[in-house]
């Protein structure tokens, strides 16, 4: 192993990469990890020296707060390789800002910006061989923070670990997605943590999702917990509805994640003269639009999923199938977005950030 | 270390207890742990051989699902020592039943009853020296389950670890508690996981609680997320209101934990001819009762807190102080409850379970 101190980071690299043991063609999402990881401990009231080390297990006391109280937040982002072998991040400062928004709501101390951006760059630079060229290939990057303090009182921890791990990925969903509009279960409450990438938000969706999966659906589009009349988000995706030629999506709130892909699509819609309405979208209007033929498409947006077209949806006992569109907005926005991500086009909003060698 | 197989459990005991290093007089809640722990892994579709081992750190991959998606549930229970040095559990089957109710909602496989009860008994028997006699002294017992599978796809894990760790404790809250009735933040949604002891429910309360703590209050009594008009629970406690001589407490729901101390107090109230109404309790009626003098007491109930009297509460800008009651129900029910727990009285509902030597 080689050791160095760069940008106040302690960097220890592996002697030999495990990359040759990985079959990149048949890789499953989030199961293979790269050679290194970034970590930084919070103790004695401050974030300590950040480290890049070989990817390795964590050793934690069984009383660590994350195991008991779910005091943990995360982010999801991707790095892409262009045809010149340059590596690009997409709006990384937005992920940085959001992990601290999530952290604040979960009583986790904010992480310093330079630690995040320098650590991210140094780690991705080390792992650039893990990023394959070609549509759908990317390095999925998972920053996360966990409460490590060994004490089971139900109060915020005083010790945390911030980490970044990386996993080579192909596209997340295969083909189109069938969804159910939620009627009984809910994802989040007013005044709750739905807007945060809080760990507990995700496990809470597993059981209801497993119920719809038994019926052949993949995902739930969550509705407001109070009335179940308004469509909110899909847990791992924000949701867009195309009614005639207008895109509709729910406004962000304390129940809905402020998705980076979501806001990029809203901007791309404006850039391309596609009408977009950010407003509450009711189950009733979407069902009526499906019945009268004006509902053309539904698609999800998210870092893992990118743009995910939805083929059909169910609400109660009613099922609705969406026709294939010649001028698909899902296809259009996916291309616009990935062209920027893979450095195939102009990037007028400066969303792309090059990972320097 | 000594090894044995008892009741199909692999038991490895320490050579020397660390008990003499513990200052039982000045112990903080949940920071000291006993010599041993119970663990059992779920993999290949089933729970494997349970083990009791020396208390030791866990080694987990950074991608373990618990760190990312909060797929974790827990229980809280206590063991008490009577004057004859016998050790007693309180309604342990209720904790067993509830951890599986929580587990189901979090898509965690149910744990077998005999593993739970045998493991619990064997572990507590080993640790009986850690349980001190005397009011307030107890062994706090923390069963919990975490998703250990190393893969960051947002779906239920296939590998879990069930554990029981034990911590010697004195009483949880010192003195009376000042509370705020929630108006902005919320604990749980209809159709959510509020009824489960899901890890993420707890971290979600830390930040709002820290805000009221800055004002000198200790806890929040959560209200319904929809209207904030009905008083629900306090996150680590269920809540009882005494109006004149009647006890009021909210009904359990998908938002409110079915507290074992709560239902024990309801039963004890019936046994002792105290009127109890289990029904929605509005902020408005409690404030009116405080103003007209009919609100005599508020107290919390929970395993960690036992019965916790509340001295005053705040709602918006209004503050209300509760007078000391000569015939305090909090004191009365705490004594009734702890008399059963410490084997000082008849136990007509068979709540007490002796830990056999």
Assigned domain for A349 exists: no
Rounded to a whole number of angstroms, the distance from the CA of A332 to the nearest CA of chain B is 27
Assigned domain for A35 exists: yes
A148: which 2 tokens? 């490590």
A72, A199 Cβ separation under 8 angstroms: yes
Q: CA triplet B111, B114, B118: central angle to 5 degrees?
A: 115
Q: CA triplet B326, B174, B262: central angle to 5 degrees?
A: 70
B198, A202 Cβ separation under 8 angstroms: no
Beta-bridged to residue A253, according to DSSP, are A256
> Is A58 within 8 Å of B63 when comparing Cβ atoms?
no
Please give the C-alpha separations between residue A353 and each of A132, A139, A302, A338, B237, in angstroms, as whole numbers: 17, 14, 19, 14, 48
Beta-bridged to residue B139, according to DSSP, are B79, B168
What letter does residue B349 receive in the DSSP assignment? T
Assigned domain for B354 exists: no
Rounded Cα distance, B69 and A96, in Å: 19
> Is B31 within 8 Å of A153 when comparing Cβ atoms?
yes
Which residues in chain B are contacts of A202 at CB distance < 8 A? 68-71, 154
| pLDDT above 70: residue B172 | no
Number of CB pairs, chain A paired with chain B, less than 8 A apart: 239
Nearest residue to A111 via CA among A70, A160, A155: A160
Which residues in chain A are contacts of B162 at CB distance < 8 A? none
Confidence of residue B352 (pLDDT cuts 50, 70, 90): very high
Q: Which residues contact B356 (CB under 8 A, 6 or more apart)?
A: B121, B125
Question: Which SS3 state, helix, strand or coil, does residue B207 take?
Answer: helix
Which residues in chain A are contacts of B160 at CB distance < 8 A? none
pLDDT at A173: 53
Q: How far is CA A317 from the centre of its chain?
A: 31
B330: which 2 tokens? 């909090």
Whether residues B202 and B101 share a domain: the answer is no
Helices and strands in chain B, H and E counts:
7, 22
Rounded to a whole number of angstroms, the distance from the CA of B131 to the nearest CA of chain A is 18
Nearest residue to B198 via CA among B356, B341, B71, B37: B71
Whether residues B17 and B160 share a domain: the answer is yes
> Is B189 within 8 Å of A192 when comparing Cβ atoms?
yes
Identify the H or E element spanning A42: strand A36-43
**Among candidate residues A106, A135, A169, the one where a domain is terminated:** A169
pLDDT per residue as tens digits for the range B181-194: 999 999 999 999 99
- Binning chain A into helix, strand and coil, the percentages to the nearest 5 are 25, 35, 40
pLDDT per residue as tens digits for the range B96-132: 999 999 999 999 999 999 999 999 999 999 999 999 9
Which residues in chain A are contacts of B200 at CB distance < 8 A? 69-70, 193, 198-201, 203-204
Rounded Cα distance, B240 and B298, in Å: 6
> Is B70 within 8 Å of A29 when comparing Cβ atoms?
no
Q: In chain A, which residues have pLDDT < 50?
A: none
Assigned domain for B355 exists: no
Which residues in chain B are contacts of A227 at CB distance < 8 A? none
Nearest residue to B200 via CA among A70, A74, A65: A70
Nearest residue to A205 via CA among B189, B160, B187: B189
Beta pairing, strands B352-354 & B87-90: antiparallel
Assigned domain for B99 exists: yes
pLDDT at A4: 79
- The string of DSSP letters for A254-301 reads TTB---HHHHHHHHHHHHTT-EEEES-EEHHHHHHHHHHT-EEEEEEE
B12, B3 Cβ separation under 8 angstroms: yes
Q: Which of B155, B190, B202 is nearest residue A206 as measured by Cβ atoms?
A: B155
B39, B111 Cβ separation under 8 angstroms: no
Mutation target for B interface from A154, A168, A198: give the one with most B CBs within 10 A. Answer: A154
Beta-bridged to residue A87, according to DSSP, are A81
Whether residues A55 and A8 share a domain: the answer is yes
> Is B188 within 8 Å of A192 when comparing Cβ atoms?
yes
Nearest residue on chain A to B203, alpha-carbon basis: A71
Whether residues B194 and B314 share a domain: the answer is yes
Which residues in chain A are contacts of B153 at CB distance < 8 A? 28-31
Question: Which SS3 state, helix, strand or coil, does residue B94 take?
Answer: helix
- In b/e form, how buried is each residue of A45-81, taking b as 16+ CB within 10 angstroms? eebeebbbbebeebebbbbbbbbbbbbbbbbbbbbbb
The verdict on ipTM greater than 0.85 is yes
> What are the helix (H) ranges across chain A?
65-69, 92-105, 113-126, 199-214, 260-271, 283-292, 329-341
B105: which 2 tokens? 């909602």
Phi, psi (rounded to 5 degrees) for A225: -65, -25
B340, B82 Cβ separation under 8 angstroms: no
Beta strands in B170-294 (DSSP E): 177-181, 219-221, 230-231, 238-243, 246-249, 276-278, 281-282
> Is B192 within 8 Å of A188 when comparing Cβ atoms?
yes
Rounded Cα distance, B331 and A150, in Å: 33
Whether residues B237 and B147 share a domain: the answer is no
Above pLDDT 70, what percent of chain B?
A: 99
pLDDT per residue as tens digits for the range B298-332: 999 999 778 999 999 999 999 999 999 999 999 99
Nearest residue to B58 via CA among B27, B29, B37, B86: B37
Nearest residue to B90 via CA among B98, B78, B75: B78
> Is B192 within 8 Å of A191 when comparing Cβ atoms?
no
pLDDT per residue as tens digits for the range B30-72: 999 999 999 999 999 999 999 999 999 999 999 999 999 999 9
pLDDT per residue as tens digits for the range B8-35: 899 999 999 999 999 998 888 899 999 9
Which residues in chain B are contacts of A235 at CB distance < 8 A? 154
Question: What total number of domains does chain B contain?
Answer: 2
Whether residues A113 and A189 share a domain: the answer is no
Whether residues A274 and A140 share a domain: the answer is no
What letter does residue A324 receive in the DSSP assignment? P
Identify the H or E element spanning B2: strand B2-6
Rounded Cα distance, A283 and A221, in Å: 10
A201: which 2 tokens? 């938000």
Nearest residue on chain A to B192, alpha-carbon basis: A186
Q: Which of B58, B142, B204 is nearest residue A200 as measured by Cβ atoms?
A: B204
Nearest residue to A166 via CA among A260, A75, A36, A18: A36
Which residues in chain B are contacts of A201 at CB distance < 8 A? 70, 200
pLDDT per residue as tens digits for the range B214-256: 999 999 999 999 999 999 999 899 999 999 999 999 999 999 9
Q: Which of B67, B201, B209 is nearest residue A146 as measured by Cβ atoms?
A: B67
Whether residues A83 and A130 share a domain: the answer is yes
Rounded Cα distance, B91 and B262, in Å: 12
| pLDDT above 80: residue B207 | yes
Whether residues A73 and A217 share a domain: the answer is no
Which residues in chain B are contacts of A60 at CB distance < 8 A? 57-58, 60
> Is B186 within 8 Å of A191 when comparing Cβ atoms?
yes
Assigned domain for A336 exists: yes
Beta pairing, strands A9-13 & A51-54: parallel
Q: Which of B28, B31, B67 is nearest residue A66 as measured by Cβ atoms?
A: B67
> Is A198 within 8 Å of B203 when comparing Cβ atoms?
yes
Rounded to a whole number of angstroms, the distance from the CA of B327 to the nearest CA of chain A is 31
B124, B89 Cβ separation under 8 angstroms: yes
**Among candidate residues B144, B169, B194, the one where a domain is terminated:** B169
A72: which 2 tokens? 């943990």
A52, A36 Cβ separation under 8 angstroms: yes
> Is A144 within 8 Å of B226 when comparing Cβ atoms?
no
| CATH code of the domain in which A109 resides | 3.30.470.10
> Is B206 within 8 Å of A37 when comparing Cβ atoms?
no
Question: Which SS3 state, helix, strand or coil, does residue B7 take?
Answer: coil
Q: State in Å, rounded, how far the first CA of chain A is from the last one.
A: 20
| Owning domain of residue B119 | 2-169
Rounded to a whole number of angstroms, the distance from the CA of A202 to the nearest CA of chain B is 5
Rounded Cα distance, A218 and A211, in Å: 10
Please give the C-alpha separations between residue B27 and each of A151, A236, B21, B129, B310, in angstroms, as whole numbers: 12, 43, 12, 15, 24
Whether residues B195 and B239 share a domain: the answer is yes
> Is A198 within 8 Å of B201 when comparing Cβ atoms?
no
Mutation target for A interface from B67, B142, B308: give the one with most A CBs within 10 A. Answer: B67
Phi, psi (rounded to 5 degrees) for B333: -75, -30
Whether residues B220 and B95 share a domain: the answer is no
> Is A191 within 8 Å of B225 when comparing Cβ atoms?
yes
Rounded Cα distance, A42 and A148, in Å: 9
Beta-bridged to residue B79, according to DSSP, are B89, B139
Sign of CA dihedral A47, B205, B30, B157: negative
Rounded to a whole number of angstroms, the distance from the CA of A309 to the nearest CA of chain B is 19
Sign of CA dihedral A94, A141, A196, B216: negative
What letter does residue A130 receive in the DSSP assignment? G
| CATH code of the domain in which B205 resides | 3.20.10.10
Assigned domain for A136 exists: yes
pLDDT per residue as tens digits for the range B142-169: 999 999 999 999 999 999 999 999 999 9
| pLDDT above 80: residue B174 | no
Mutation target for B interface from A163, A174, A200, A236: give the one with most B CBs within 10 A. Answer: A200
Rounded Cα distance, B225 and B230, in Å: 9
pLDDT at A306: 85
Q: Give burial (CB, 10 Å; 0-12/13-18/19+) of B239.
A: buried
Q: Which of A60, A68, A225 is nearest residue B199 as measured by Cβ atoms?
A: A68
Whether residues B96 and B183 share a domain: the answer is no
Assigned domain for B318 exists: yes
> Is B192 within 8 Å of A185 when comparing Cβ atoms?
yes
Rounded Cα distance, B263 and A139, in Å: 51
Q: Which of A63, A144, A202 is nearest residue B33 as measured by Cβ atoms?
A: A63
Q: Which of B55, B63, B71 is nearest residue A203 as measured by Cβ atoms?
A: B71
């Amino acid at each position: 192993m080689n050791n160095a101190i760069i940008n106040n980071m302690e960097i220890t690299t592996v002697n030999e990469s495990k990359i040759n043991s990985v079959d990149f063609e048949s890789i499953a999402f989030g199961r293979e990890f790269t050679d290194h990881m970034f970590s930084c401990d919070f103790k004695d009231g401050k974030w300590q020296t950040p480290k890049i080390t070989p990817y390795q297990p964590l050793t934690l006391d069984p009383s660590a707060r994350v195991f008991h109280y779910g005091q943990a937040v995360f982010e999801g982002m991707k790095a892409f390789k262009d045809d010149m072998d340059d590596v690009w991040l997409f709006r990384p400062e937005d992920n940085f800002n959001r992990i601290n928004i999530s952290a604040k709501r979960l009583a986790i101390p904010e992480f310093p910006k330079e630690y995040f951006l320098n650590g991210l760059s140094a780690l991705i630079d080390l792992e650039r061989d893990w990023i394959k060229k070609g549509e759908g290939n990317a390095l999925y990057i998972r920053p996360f923070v966990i409460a490590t303090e060994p004490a089971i009182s139900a109060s915020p921890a005083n010790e945390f670990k911030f980490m970044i791990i990386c996993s080579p990925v192909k596209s997340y969903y295969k083909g189109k997605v069938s969804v159910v509009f939620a009627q009984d279960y809910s994802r989040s409450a007013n005044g709750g943590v739905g807007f945060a990438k809080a760990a507990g938000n995700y496990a809470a969706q597993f059981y209801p999702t497993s119920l719809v999966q038994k019926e052949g659906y993949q995902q739930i589009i969550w509705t407001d917990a109070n009335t179940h009349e308004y469509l909110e988000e899909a847990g791992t995706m924000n949701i867009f509805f195309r009614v005639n030629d207008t895109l509709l999506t729910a406004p962000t709130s304390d129940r809905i994640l402020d998705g980076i892909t979501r806001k990029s699509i809203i901007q791309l819609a404006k850039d391309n003269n596609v009408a977009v309405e950010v407003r509450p979208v009711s189950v009733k209007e979407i069902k009526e639009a499906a019945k009268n033929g004006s509902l053309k498409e539904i698609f999800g947006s998210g870092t893992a999923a990118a743009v995910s077209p939805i083929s059909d949806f169910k609400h109660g006992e009613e099922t609705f199938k969406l026709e294939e569109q010649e001028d698909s907005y899902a296809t259009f926005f996916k291309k616009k977005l990935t062209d920027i991500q893979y450095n195939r086009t102009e990037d007028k909003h400066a969303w792309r950030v090059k990972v320097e060698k």
